[in-house]
Amino acid sequence: MGTNDPRRLLLLELLRAGLAAVDGRQCTRRALRALPPAVYWVAALGKAASSMALGASDALGAHLQRVLLLTKEGHVAREALELPAVEVCESSHPVPDERSLLAGARLLRFVEEIPEYVQPIFLVSGGASSLVEVLAPGVTLQDLQRLNMDGHSSAIDIEELNARRQVCSRIKGGRLAAMLKGRPARALFISDVPGNDPAVIGSGVLGPAPGAPGGAPAADGIERTVIASIEMAMQAVGARATGLPVHVHSRRVADTADRLAVRLAHELAISAAPLRVWGGETVVRLPARPGRGGRNQHLALAVARLIAGYEDLRLLAVGTDGTDGPTPDAGALVDGDTCARAASSGVDVDECLRRADSAAALEAAGDLVHTGPTGTNVGDLIIGLKLSAAAASEWLRGNASGHATASD
């Protein structure tokens, strides 16, 4: 797809608007800006930890005394290294490793070291399940790694996977909250899970402590607030699409990427609205030796095969954190000629899908989307477009934002 195709530029502009609405720095700053003067310590966990910590610094200024950053390798903003008394632990995602255990041990020490006069703030975003862990007695790192790999290669939904992770953990499922022993604290969440439940985000690392079996969670002193979600990103996409009829789907997608591709391609082809917006997460069942790609790339390539030959159809599927699975790309933006471009480069699209090697075909077609770390993580954002090039050009002329968009 040509990088200057107006439909590609339109979709990337809508992506920019969606990401801006859930930017970790902006959302955290808004949530904390009215706090009274005090001494604050901040622990930020997850893929968006760096941007959330910067937002806390913006809001708290000189009242922020100490920062602990536990995040994915390569997701630390240079500016975050200048935060007060900052300590950074870069860790592993999507499969935990020894660094995840070191990060978990450091988080425990942080909680133990908080003085009585300090008000603690915890900033939690998706990815914390893999990035930070303290193993339960009898559980090995190999057990945890196998659980994560099995979860990502099967059709287990995120709530069930996180429930299994909690059994393996000394800090997940509200156990870290219980260690605070009722002292007042705040926890802000960027949600990447259905229902936006703090008991599920990051496998409940700052969720409420478990209560009696079958009863309500135990009371604690933590004030919990979800500050960003995929629904916010989807609504922002719809709001940015001024003048274009848009259908923002209220129900999150949750299916295998191959099955969902059939549904999305059908809905896009018969759509009366030129723009459709979905959010959620898919699953890809991986072969024994998968190739390169992530669930969004697999979904996009599967859709590309179904819309082959349709001139006016486009679909963008990205991970809002800027990484799709174990790849450095956010996802892909495909059209009716994607498969033809891949084939002209000697790449077999069907074989790539069978081998979970979607990135090979999408790279050959020129359809990968790269954003770099975005400072948020609310799950996957999918935008479908049914529009002529002329209509897209007209929209761009009337709605120019002056902002840079994601690169190829």
Q: List pLDDT tens digits, range 149-192.
A: 877 666 566 677 777 888 889 999 999 999 999 999 999 999 99
* Residue 58 sits in the same domain as residue 123: yes
Q: Does any domain span residue 364?
A: yes
Is 60 exceeded by the pLDDT of residue 403?
Answer: no
The helix, strand and coil proportions of the chain, stated in percent and rounded to the nearest 5, come to 40, 20, 40
pLDDT grade for 408, boundaries at 50, 70 and 90: very low
* Residue 261 sits in the same domain as residue 211: no
How many domains are contained in the chain? 2
Which pLDDT value is given to residue 288?
87
Report the distance separating Cα 372 and Cα 283, nearest Å: 22
Q: Does any domain span residue 153?
A: yes
- Going by DSSP bridges, is the β-strand pair 313-319/64-72 parallel, antiparallel, or unpaired? unpaired
pLDDT grade for 84, boundaries at 50, 70 and 90: very high
Q: At which of 195, 228, 261 does a domain end?
A: 228
* Residue 160 sits in the same domain as residue 283: no
pLDDT in tens, 43-76: 999 999 999 999 999 999 999 999 999 999 999 9
Report the distance separating Cα 325 and Cα 340, nearest Å: 25
pTM value > 0.95: no
Amino acid residing at 14: L
SS3 call for 101: helix
Spatial strand order of the sheet with 86-91 comes to 86-91, 64-72, 39-45, 118-125, 185-190, 222-228
Q: Which residue is associated with the tokens 């077609």?
A: 365
Q: What are phi and psi of 44, to 5 degrees?
A: -115, 125
Is 70 exceeded by the pLDDT of residue 2?
Answer: no
CATH assignment of the domain containing 372? 3.40.1480.10
Q: At which of 194, 213, 228 does a domain end?
A: 228
Domain that holds residue 147: 23-228
Task: Encode 122-187 in three state secondary structure.
Answer: EEEECCHHHHCCCECCCCCHHHHHHHHHHHHCCCCCHHHHHHHHHHCECCCCCHHHHHCCCCCEEE
pLDDT in tens, 209-218: 877 666 677 7
* Residue 196 sits in the same domain as residue 53: yes
* Residue 48 sits in the same domain as residue 192: yes
Q: Does any domain span residue 402?
A: no
